[in-house]
Structure 1
Amino acid sequence: MISFTKRTAFTCVFMLIILSSAIPASCAASPDNSEMSAYIIDYMKAEYLDENLVHPARTELCAYARSYMGLDPLEEDDSVIKIATPNIVKAEAFYDYYVGIFSHLSNMPLMQMTSTGSLIGQTAESYEVSEDNTAWTFYIKDDMYWSDGRKVTPEDIEFTFQYIGTKIASSEWIGESLVSTSVSDEDNSVTFVFDQPYTNLNLEFATYNVIPKHIWENIDDPEGYTSSGPYVGCGPYYLEEINLDSAKLTYKKNPHWKGTEPNFENVEIHWFASDSVACMALESGSMDTYYRYANSYPYANVDELLETGDFDVDRQTSIGLTFMAFNLESEPLSDPAFRNAISYAVNYDEIITYDTNGYGQVPNKGFVPPGMDYYKNTDALEYNVNTAKSLIADAGYVDSDNNGIVEDSEGNDITLELLIRDGYDDTAKLMEEYLEDAGVDVEVTQVDSSTWFDRKDNYEYDLTLSGATPWGMLMHAGWGTGYLDNRRTGKGVLHILGDQEFLTLCDNILATTDQDELEQYASDMQDYYATEMPILPLYWKEVVTPYNKHFTGWHYNPLFGIYNLDTFLNVKQVAAA
């Protein structure tokens, strides 16, 4: 039953259709009469009959009406906030890696992380989990709308995870472990049941973008699908265009957004070929802020940017870090004593100075940074090349021919290949120098990212340098386990650990619902890292983010830095002082 108010409005708008149909098409500007009638009918059905269908927003209908009546359009809002990044988009594709990260703004995940690291709903209002952590129910916010006017439904959420779990390689674990799904229109919820406990599914679901079923159900190969846009989104903005020629992503206000109104009509992400070029763009004043996923503004450029007088910086301790990983199947790196010995060869203070310009901290053997839950203060890593040499000899590796290189059990000089990608050149040179000072020969091999992924997955290296992102430290069983568990796959995943002690700890963390048990398992995991040393942390770091002084309202969270919903709903321009 339509209420009196809705019925009256419905009748009035319907009369407009009748009147508009009587006007000769020659008197009307675009859209034509039939299109205008269709726009109005769809709008009425959605607004007054609560039908879930694609329809124009009120502002769009107003623009159509002005055009129809031959009136000048309203002045267009061209306000924009411009973000510089070295994260290069490689394809006109929604599932391009960095498009996916930037589109958290347009296709908001179910959950989000707060500035203190707690998890709250984003597309979801709230959630419930069963006692055994196998069944998770998410209650979807009732005022969420796609940018084409359709309402976000539990079926969209159900579809999203069924779809990516079978069609997106990095999300295959969802399809493999998901037993069943169900939706309830009555309480606007969707329930996922898994074949094993997932203690941190709420965290996992803070990273997967929600997609509209009515669009993507017609696309069979999402990773191969290309389009410059627009892409339908449900956030305060939608992705209007991917422009590879101008190296820019453009996000426009979602006309159907019901939440807090953003202060800017557009958000532009401009990517640059290198950090140095991105820094020049900020220094020139053409960009308003800088964002590099899981990384800081280049430390060496901070002072120069501040000297312009137009920027301030936000400093936050990161739970990400830089580390050196060992191929545990390769001798002598399979020997924990050897791994512990070479940890003393690294000049941590020097590498922090070179790599972070002092925005770093010497890590502990327990790997896990202080900002993580249940951090344990294990022994700090220490630089002492004489101790390194002594421990290498104690482990049975000696330089019998006095050529400066220690030998393996068969009398061969130990030469380790250090495999790196672009961006790790300077760190690799330091590591080469440090290890050779301790009597271990190192050959550095630099490859492109694709080759690095292939060789890493096939264990074709001895040592490699990599970085742990905040999400990487939290994923899987947390505390960095997602990088190491050999049952996992992924571009950044090293999957080098398969011993039963480690795997049992991971499974216990994933299964427990008891916080005291979780704290103990976290402690045990850090002790395991400190004793076995499967990876060598090189430094814990700060994230430095610059922003134009003429803008205020920036928010930071440990997972995605300043690139989060709170920032885009609150950032605004302020008058110059």
Structure 2
Amino acid sequence: MRKTNWTKLFLAMMLALVLALAACSKDSGGSKEKADGGDSNKGKTEQKGGESEEGIYSIEDFPLVTSNNAEPLEDGELTYGVVTDSPFQGTLNTALYSGAVDWETIKWFDEALLDADADFNYKEGAASFEVSDDKKTYTFKIKDNVNWQDGKPVTAEDWAYSFYVIGHKDYTGVRYDDSFRNIKGMEEYHTGKSDKISGLEVVDDKTLKMTFMDPTPSLLAGGIWPYAIPKHYLEDIPVKDLAKSEKVRKKPLGMGPYKVESIVPGESVVLTRNEDYWRGKPALAKLTVKRVDPSVVVKELEQGKVDMVDSFPTDQYPDNADMKNVEFLGNIDMAYTYIGFKLGTWDKKKGEVKPNPDCKMCDKNLRKAMWYAVDNDAVGKKFYHGLRWSANTLIDPAHKSWYAEDVEAPTYDPEKAKQLLEEAGFKDTDGDGIREDKDGKPLTITFASMSGGDTAEPIAKYYIQAWKQVGLNVELLDGKLHDINSFYERVGEEGNDDPKIDIYQGAWSTGTDVDPSGLYGRNALFNFSRYASEENDKLLEDGLSLEAFDTAYRQKVYKEWQQLMVDEVPVFPTVFRSIVVPVNKRVVNYSAEWEDKEPFLYQLGVSEKEPVK
């Protein structure tokens, strides 16, 4: 799925659940050189200083694309498993769905009008585009051979219609955000002051012009909604009723390589080849998307009941690395886990962070000491067998043009942690091994962490023990882990910061757009640490300025921002993560990359009639 900044925050919340459950999502980013496939992954070990560590894997050793180079069968059929313990919601429309599970069906029959380059910026796909000199106006031209699956052409009116649906006051989805509000006239339309969006101009049947109020380089990194909706098919349905309509839930229409043939609600969808697909003839004659319970994923793969799945837990890879009928692909994910420090609260009236200069965690050396005290490299190896690894910045390495590998961040050094605490005045005044605060009073730090999966509790316990070893008394919030809804409600997703929480463990999916202001800006609700500073404000603003259209300038800005966050430590990243994707050995032309990059989904095929078992 192409995750853009219009869904970044919603999907980030979804990812936090995925991380807590120790699952591995298909959503991926970045690229690696193609490596040998097949059995080459078996028994991989990480080489360090001439020594090998058995059972420790590196994502760099995994191929990105299937190694099967055979020609796909003309009448091939494939079964794609979506791993979930809940029924599909069945909202099969790009503008209306809210769950990642529904996307795993949508992506086969519908797609974006734009493709993405190596830096996840838009490039020509089903539409080409031109940008005005002032970077405010974008003119898109849809190709003549791009049609809906009922034979009707995809038009500029269809693309504009998607904006009118999402911006409508009765819209029931989750897409309407700042990227839509940035369109000239959108707010007037959304509030009912106008029945037109002045920033959208349908020039002709195939040409759409969009004008934005605030030009930023993020527009081309996902800040422009790239999906059309078939206006001729859906316009008679009131916007408030679209998500529940039969045309969305039972008979969806798209422009992608496959078209929906039949649906078993909540369980499976059968799709067949779209002979009129604009890129070319799809390789498969038939595709079945079916729900797979997490408890039987391995069995379904081993028995050939599914050829591939959307997600596979990285912590289960070592026990299944020798699965003989599948090839494991891998990639760096656009995500990281982190420890956050509560440094203020959310001002609901102003819609901004309100720093608290007297907060318990306000001492920068206390925060930095807590980073030095934990061995995140060991966490990645012990709990994820090297498929997650110690992180140094808040921009992940999947964003290769922006990730600052050379930024020096604290690594495991408990003696350095103790030194910083001593110098900051956190001393053990009564000899019990636990440090008091600067006034000599007992210091207890309350830690919020999420429940879920086999790794959540032992990881939380490890961090608590590591902090205790440098003299800090850290206790779980209410003495337990919390489910995702309770956790985020108390951490502050509604702006209600629980005063009991001093630190917390969270996770973010960063999306294609490298801009971190939606997570760490002064006006970002999801800035749960409630950190704000003038220097942070300036760097985030500079990263979205007209000057930032120059890549070298933007790289410099974001490197400075990454260093600032290491120096200030409002949060610290713990581990980066990878995705591991098992595919049956009969599968050809499949990549652990994004769907809008080659090989595209329409090229996916099978070389044998039956799955390899």
Name the TM tier (shorter chain): 0.7 to 0.9
CA distance in 2 between partners of 1:374 and 1:509 (Å): 11
**Corresponding residue of 1:429:** 461
CA distance in 1 between partners of 2:382 and 2:271 (Å): 37
Is 1:149 equivalent to 2:162 in the alignment?
no
**Corresponding residue of 2:381:** 353
Q: Is the Cα–Cα contact under 8 Å of residues 160 and 228 in structure 2 kept in the other structure?
A: no
CA distance in 1 between partners of 2:213 and 2:85 (Å): 36
C-alpha spacing 1:100/1:511, structure 2 compared with 1 (3 Å):
farther
Q: 5 Å matches for 1:284-433? A: 284-292=303-311, 297-329=312-344, 331-365=359-393, 367-369=395-397, 371-376=399-404, 377-409=406-438, 411-423=441-453, 424-433=456-465
Is 1:193 equivalent to 2:211 in the alignment?
yes
Q: Is the Cα–Cα contact under 8 Å of residues 436 and 442 in structure 1 kept in the other structure?
A: no
CA distance in 1 between partners of 2:217 and 2:241 (Å): 29
Q: Is the Cα–Cα contact under 8 Å of residues 128 and 136 in structure 1 kept in the other structure?
A: yes
Deviations 1:243-275 (A, max 9, x none): 4553x344443454333111223333333443x
Q: 5 Å matches for 1:488-499? A: 488=524, 494=528, 496-499=530-533
Give TM-score, length-normalised by structure 1: 0.75
Q: 1:225 aligns with which of 244, 251, 254?
A: 244
1:352 Cα deviation after fit: 0.6
C-alpha spacing 1:312/1:226, structure 2 compared with 1 (3 Å):
same
CA distance in 2 between partners of 1:545 and 1:104 (Å): 17
CA distance in 2 between partners of 1:486 and 1:241 (Å): 47
**Corresponding residue of 2:29:** none
Amino acid at match of 2:560: D
RMSD of aligned Cα (Å): 3.1
Amino acid at match of 1:280: K
Q: 1:469 aligns with which of 509, 520, 525?
A: 509
Q: Is the Cα–Cα contact under 8 Å of residues 201 and 210 in structure 2 kept in the other structure?
A: no
CA distance in 1 between partners of 2:462 and 2:269 (Å): 37
**Corresponding residue of 2:605:** 572
Q: Equivalent residue of 2:599, what SS? A: helix
C-alpha spacing 1:183/1:106, structure 2 compared with 1 (3 Å):
farther
1:152 Cα deviation after fit: 0.9
**Corresponding residue of 1:44:** none
Q: 1:121 aligns with which of 121, 124, 135?
A: 124
CA distance in 2 between partners of 1:351 and 1:155 (Å): 51
Q: 1:547 aligns with which of 569, 578, 583?
A: 583
Unaligned runs of 5+ in 2: 1-73, 185-197, 345-355
**Larger Rg: 1 or 2?**
1
CA distance in 2 between partners of 1:413 and 1:220 (Å): 54
Q: 1:450 aligns with which of 482, 485, 498?
A: 485
1:409 Cα deviation after fit: 4.8
Q: Is the Cα–Cα contact under 8 Å of residues 488 and 495 in structure 1 kept in the other structure?
A: no
Q: Is the Cα–Cα contact under 8 Å of residues 159 and 229 in structure 2 kept in the other structure?
A: yes
* Equivalences, count: 486
C-alpha spacing 1:567/1:256, structure 2 compared with 1 (3 Å):
closer
1:235 Cα deviation after fit: 1.1
Amino acid at match of 1:417: F
Is 1:501 equivalent to 2:535 in the alignment?
yes
1:161 Cα deviation after fit: 2.3
CA distance in 2 between partners of 1:119 and 1:420 (Å): 35
Q: 5 Å matches for 1:33-112? A: 79-86=77-84, 91-94=89-92, 95-99=97-101, 101-102=103-104, 103-112=106-115
Is 1:271 equivalent to 2:271 in the alignment?
no
Q: Is the Cα–Cα contact under 8 Å of residues 448 and 487 in structure 2 kept in the other structure?
A: no
Is 1:258 equivalent to 2:278 in the alignment?
yes
C-alpha spacing 1:370/1:244, structure 2 compared with 1 (3 Å):
closer
Q: Is the Cα–Cα contact under 8 Å of residues 291 and 545 in structure 1 kept in the other structure?
A: yes
Deviations 1:372-415 (A, max 9, x none): 31332111431122222221232232333344433345624222
The structure where helix makes up a greater share of residues is 1
